[in-house]
Chains A and B, each alone.
Chain A
């Protein structure tokens, strides 16, 4: 019973701080998912381009961001780049200077690589018949992508993309290492000050609940997206 009281007391005392952290986490999640999604569609199309230079460039981007740990990427962008005078004087510094936006940038760039792979798989899974029908109708390549291929690819890829969003939620925890006070950052501070791990566990439960929420939303979205395929 006293264990429960401990947790309750912690919640009451530090609840507002944890809530602030949660808001930062959600901002990071939504921001990086939006930017990542916007960048991943062109990247996926570039991956499938017939132009060898473009597709090679796109696959190297994917390989680099998926082939190295996110934590290392974060450190390179935050501590590594700030080492150079040239970077500090460039306009990019406006973004890299702030730990929140720097973290958001790296999260978005990382997510782009993963989402592009999923969307690429989705594009390849679009029935050839639909692509051919588009060409038969006289649509230009751009038009057939815009009206036929991409919407269909996205609907096919929805479950996988939903999974990526859930993975991204867990990835946001890493920006606490560059002083961003997201939920993980807040509870690490609370835990260090109290010499216990209660705050960490509360954060864990909250993350699990949000994951549950997101998977429910994705399932509903998937259900509605494929409504036309069911009777």
Chain B
């Protein structure tokens, strides 16, 4: 047990990196997901079809492989065509990969959310003279958010677990730190178990948070009595 305490500092640093990676990817993933959903709902075929194919492609490739391609491939791309204008760190490569995968799934969830809004509400908003932007932010987004929230909760759990994959491209996150500690101390079991416990705790904390968010999103909304 005391071997854990000597490496505790390192593990906590790794855990911080993991959380940083997860929240950053969540932010960009949600933003991109909304963008993709908007494209999928667009009336322009040349916008809809490519995005559909792209998101379907992303959902069919292992996240692990996407992380490898993004980290190594993006670096080569930037190096060959942009003469190393900026470098892709393992963190940046990880955020990029995790965000686009999250966005691919989120786009489908958001699309379902937007489609589920009764058409009458949109017509009423237009009748009231609300602009497109006002319609989006005051009517559509809150309701789509409410409907999407449960699925988004599941996706967040997957995202959090997938952050462990970025350790393979060298990011010194929780799993990598634990691996290094385990190899140095010749006790891999203790450290990997510690990582499992920490991830379990992170996910366990996420559940009540999402329950609260769902409650907030559902306030004032009640099912019509049958």
A and B touch in the complex (CB under 8 A): yes
Query: In B144-164, which residues have CB < 8 Å from any A CB?
Result: 161-164
Taking the complex as formed, is A61 at the interface, i.e. its CB lies under 8 A from any CB of chain B?
A: no
* Residue in contact with B196 in the complex, picked from A76, A84, A211, A212, CB distance below 8 Å: A76
Which residues of the partner chain B approach A73 to less than 8 Å between Cβ atoms? Answer: 196
Identify the stretch in B126-134, B198-206, B208-216 within 8 Å (CB) of chain A at 4 or more residues.
B198-206
A209 to B56, CA, bound (A): 11
Interchain pairs with CB closer than 8 A, number: 109
A198 to B199, CA, bound (A): 34
Complex contact B162–A83 (CB within 8 A): no
Complex contact A208–B57 (CB within 8 A): yes
Nearest A-chain residue to B63, judged by Cβ: A170
Taking the complex as formed, is A70 at the interface, i.e. its CB lies under 8 A from any CB of chain B?
A: yes
Complex contact A79–B188 (CB within 8 A): yes
Which residues of the partner chain A approach B162 to less than 8 Å between Cβ atoms? Answer: 69
Q: How far is the CB of B138 from chain A (nearest CB, A)?
A: 34
**Residues of A in contact with B, size category:** 35 or more
A177-213 Cβ-contact flags toward B at 8 Å (1 or 0): 1000000100010010000110011011001111110
Main secondary structure of the interface of B (DSSP, over half): helix
Which residues of the partner chain A approach B23 to less than 8 Å between Cβ atoms? Answer: none
Q: How far is the CB of B120 from chain A (nearest CB, A)?
A: 30
* Residue from the set A166, A171, A197 with the largest chain B CB neighbour count within 10 Å: A197
Taking the complex as formed, is B7 at the interface, i.e. its CB lies under 8 A from any CB of chain A?
A: no
* Residue in contact with B192 in the complex, picked from A79, A173, A201, A204, CB distance below 8 Å: A79
Taking the complex as formed, is A127 at the interface, i.e. its CB lies under 8 A from any CB of chain B?
A: no
Which residues of the partner chain B approach A171 to less than 8 Å between Cβ atoms? Answer: 62
* Residue in contact with B61 in the complex, picked from A68, A170, A172, CB distance below 8 Å: A170
Identify the stretch in B29-37, B43-51, B68-76 within 8 Å (CB) of chain A at 4 or more residues.
B68-76
**Residues of B in contact with A, size category:** 35 or more
Nearest A-chain residue to B200, judged by Cβ: A67
Which residues of the partner chain A approach B61 to less than 8 Å between Cβ atoms? Answer: 170, 204, 207-208, 211
Q: How far is the CB of B173 from chain A (nearest CB, A)?
A: 11
Complex contact B196–A200 (CB within 8 A): no
Complex contact B196–A72 (CB within 8 A): yes
* Residue in contact with A79 in the complex, picked from B64, B72, B168, B182, CB distance below 8 Å: B182
Complex contact A184–B64 (CB within 8 A): yes
Q: How far is the CB of A208 from chain B (nearest CB, A)?
A: 4
Taking the complex as formed, is B195 at the interface, i.e. its CB lies under 8 A from any CB of chain A?
A: yes
* Residue in contact with A69 in the complex, picked from B66, B179, B186, B199, CB distance below 8 Å: B199
Taking the complex as formed, is A42 at the interface, i.e. its CB lies under 8 A from any CB of chain B?
A: no
Q: How far is the CB of B15 from chain A (nearest CB, A)?
A: 13
Complex contact A72–B192 (CB within 8 A): yes
Binding site for A on B (CB under 8 A): 56-57, 59-66, 68-69, 72-73, 76, 161-165, 167-168, 175, 179, 182, 186-189, 192-193, 195-196, 199-200, 203-204
Binding site for B on A (CB under 8 A): 63-64, 67-73, 75-76, 79-81, 83-84, 166, 169-174, 176-177, 184, 188, 191, 196-197, 200-201, 203-204, 207-212
Q: Could you name 21 residue pairs across A and B whose Cβ atoms are closer than 8 Å?
A: A67-B199, A67-B200, A69-B175, A71-B164, A72-B175, A72-B192, A73-B196, A79-B192, A80-B182, A83-B186, A166-B60, A170-B64, A173-B62, A173-B64, A196-B76, A197-B68, A197-B69, A201-B69, A204-B66, A207-B60, A208-B60
